[in-house]
Amino acid sequence: MFITRAATVLFSMGAAVMATPSQAETIHVAIDRLVYRPAEIEAKVGDEVEWVNRDALVHTATVKGGADVILPAKKSGRLVLQEAGSFDYFCRYHPNMKGRITVRP
């Protein structure tokens, strides 16, 4: 009986460790001529967003009161999504640039 319980505990721990990293994804958003493409994305907590800036201008992906990712010209930047919710973001230098990330729990 003791052996059975120990085996069950070990099995559960293994499953918990394996579940999270294998499911996380990277979602790519391109910035092309002052537009986030696609402008709206869906993700889940633990996923990562990578913005690839194809413009020769500096941009940002900025959530009001939250994350601020600097995206230098012709470079990329990343953000791991740690919170569920719907987040509007914009570029600090070009406020007409707008995007939205919907993060599922």
Toward Cu ion, which CB reaches closer, 47 or 60? 60
Binding to Cu ion in span 50-89, by CB under 5 A: 59
Q: Quote the least distance from Cβ 65 to Cu ion, whole Å.
A: 19
Half-sphere exposure of 89 (CA within 13 A, CB side): 28
Residue 91 touches Cu ion, criterion: CB under 5 A: yes
Contact 81, 47 (CB under 8 A): yes
Residue 11 touches Cu ion, criterion: CB under 5 A: no
Helix or strand (DSSP H, E) at 37? strand 36-37
Toward Cu ion, which CB reaches closer, 31 or 47? 31
Closest by CA position to 51, among listed 16, 81, 59, 14: 59
Burial (CB count <10 Å: 0-12, 13-18, 19+), residue 24: middle
Toward Cu ion, which CB reaches closer, 59 or 79? 59
Binds Cu ion (CB under 5 A): choice among 28, 44, 94, 98: 94
Binds Cu ion (CB under 5 A): choice among 25, 93, 102, 104: 93
Residue 98 touches Cu ion, criterion: CB under 5 A: no
Contact 37, 75 (CB under 8 A): no
Which spans of this chain sit near Cu ion (rule: CB under 5 A)?
Answer: 59, 91, 93-94
